[in-house]
Amino acid sequence: MISIDVTGRTPIYEQIYRAVCGEIARGVLKENDRITASRTLAQQLGLNPNTVAKAYQMLERDGIIYTVSGRGSFVAAADGKANSALTKDFEEKAREALKAGASAETLIGIIERLKGELQ
pLDDT confidence of residue 23: 92
- Do both 107 and 59 map to the same domain? no
Q: Which domain holds residue 52?
A: 12-75
- Do both 33 and 49 map to the same domain? yes
Among positive and negative, which fits the CA dihedral 61, 34, 84, 23? positive
CATH number at residue 53: 1.10.10.10
Which residue type does 72 have?
Answer: G
pLDDT in tens, 15-64: 999 999 989 988 899 999 999 999 999 999 999 999 999 999 999 999 99
CB atoms within 10 A of CB 6: 9
- Do both 68 and 92 map to the same domain? no
73 φ, ψ (degrees, to nearest 5): -110, 145
55 φ, ψ (degrees, to nearest 5): -60, -45
pLDDT confidence of residue 82: 75
pLDDT confidence of residue 88: 80
pLDDT in tens, 71-113: 999 999 877 777 777 788 888 889 999 999 999 999 999 999 9
Pairwise CA distance, residues 58 & 13, whole Å: 9
Look at residue 20 and tell me if it is in a domain: yes
